[in-house]
Amino acid sequence: MTTTASAQSGRTDGDPGYGDRSDRVCVIGAGSAGITMCRALAQRDIPFDCFERSADIGGLWHYPAHSGGSCAYPSLFANTSKSVMQYPSYPMPEDYPEYPHHTQVARYFEDYVDHFGLREHIRLGTEVTRAEPVAGGGWTVTLGDGSAYRYRAVLVASGGRHGRPFHGQFDGEFTGRQLHSFDYDGPADFAGQRVVVLGLGATSADIATEVSRVAASTFLSVRTGHYVVPKIFEGHPIDLLSPFMKKLSVEQRRPLLKLMIKLVHGDMTQFGLPAPPYQPGQGPLISTSEFLPAIMHGRISPKPVIASAKGSTVRFADGQEVEADAIIHCTGYKIAFPFLDDALVGGGSDAPPLYTWWCRGDEGLYFIGLLHSMMALMPPAEWQADWVGDLLAGTVELPSRGEMWAEIRRARRRQDKRFYDSSGHLLIDPNEYERVIAAERRTHATNGRPGVATPARRKG
């Protein structure tokens, strides 16, 4: 066994608790992105270990979480249809509803792992505390028990976009209960109370709607307006595009999307919500069928941002004041990879700049699922996983570092023009992204043939 020191930790292969697994790669996370990365490796006979800090496969989709917390809550249903959400290589059961419950999605992940024989490679309840490059190549991965191993490459699929809950800010001190949507366990605790929900997104629309059924009053504090679309349109899930629509770019689809929103819901300001500061397709769409009716029924009262709080009194930016018992922060998350050095991930204030959303150019470090899909994450994550699998198998290669960074800069300028805010560089249209991934893999293929995911046949 050779003795090679970690570039940062100083550990060597000869140290107690340090193992050489440089013939393997390490997958961090066994959520929706991690398990499809495991599939891609297994299909290419690439040895690997996968570490998941929680006690369950499926990561943030599991509720109740046995460890590590969860973004799910009892009433959560998918806000994208199963046909759009499912992995290309493994369809969801035919007897699943169009919009599955979170328990069904979690069960689907378990089935996916068993179908591809991945379970033996996944260590649950095992946290990665550090991943560091090693002088001479490879990475040292340190686990929560203090043991460390050297790997050929590290594949980060740990849900970094949901790394750290972000709370809304306002002056003063609120003496009632405050919680983030990450800690929300259902509406029962808010029965008969006066509740303020912060933020406008898919989660806040869900939570405000169900809290309003039992609360004495529900106020929705909104800074930025967004477009709301129904889950069902003309008898079909709204995200099922026709073959013709899939060929169109976001810009080409925009007039049709604007017409649909106008016909179905009209102007968002009619509901007391701020007008979205962008055109349809330049930012997120909120897919829900109950939120706007709850406003029209008077169960939810839209308000501007909170300016300050004093005791139980909440004062909004327009000067209105309400008495509240609780504030629920549905204000999103900060990107966080605590096991990586800030120099590798931009310090946590933003996502690292990535070549086609998965590679920074560092030897042996790749990110799976660190993007914001306009529809669902699983298909783009599987496309990324197949590309990384081909790279590690030697059937494709990366362009030069200079070419990658030139493309990163071009893509960032395009994203900044195309989407509403600076985080828009994470936003992708999955139909376009599938074409980009396929073209890049063809362009950079070596003598080998890039692997292709073959859909599995299954019934309910």
Q: What is the pLDDT of residue 452?
A: 44
> What is the C-alpha separation between 298 and 198, in angstroms, rounded?
18
Which of 163-172, 176-185, 451-460 has the lowest average pLDDT?
451-460
User: Which residue has 């590690």 as its token pair?
Assistant: 392
The string of DSSP letters for 26-81 reads EEE--SHHHHHHHHHHHHTT--EEEE-SSSSTTGGG-SS-SSS--S--TT-B-SS-
Confidence class of residue 460 from pLDDT cuts 50, 70 and 90? very low
Domain ranges for the chain, please list them. Answer: 18-163+334-443, 167-331
Among 31, 51, 294, residue whose Cα is nearest residue 162: 31
- 10-62: pLDDT as tens digits: 455 555 557 999 999 999 999 999 999 999 999 999 999 999 998 899 887 88
- 55-112: pLDDT as tens digits: 899 887 887 755 556 778 888 899 889 999 999 999 999 999 999 999 999 999 999 9
Which of 114-118, 135-139, 256-260 has the lowest average pLDDT?
256-260
Helix, strand, or coil (residue 430): helix
Q: What is the pLDDT of residue 411?
A: 83
The reply to whether 167-331 shares the fold of 18-163+334-443 is yes
Which of 15-19, 82-86, 187-191, 251-255 has the lowest average pLDDT?
15-19
Q: In the CATH hierarchy, which fold is given to the domain comprising 167-331? A: FAD/NAD(P)-binding domain (3.50.50)
For residue 121 the two structure tokens come to: 């490679």
> What is the C-alpha separation between 163 and 215, in angstroms, rounded?
30
Instruction: For residue 137, report the phi and psi dihedrals to the nearest 5 degrees.
Output: 115, 150
> What is the C-alpha separation between 392 and 384, in angstroms, rounded?
12
Peptide bond into 380 cis (omega under 30): no
> What is the C-alpha separation between 68 and 47, in angstroms, rounded?
27
Confidence class of residue 260 from pLDDT cuts 50, 70 and 90? confident
- The two counts, helices (H) then strands (E), for the chain are 11, 24
Q: In the CATH hierarchy, which fold is given to the domain comprising 18-163+334-443? A: FAD/NAD(P)-binding domain (3.50.50)
Q: Are strands 232-233 and 236-237 parallel, antiparallel or unpaired?
A: antiparallel
| Residue-wise burial string across 393-405, b where 16 or more C-beta atoms lie within 10 A, e elsewhere | bebbeebeeeebe
Which of 108-112, 202-206, 256-260 has the lowest average pLDDT?
256-260
Please report, rounded to a whole number, the percentage of residues in the chain having pLDDT higher than 90.
53
> What is the C-alpha separation between 373 and 431, in angstroms, rounded?
10
Residue 198 neighbours by CB distance under 10 Å: 26
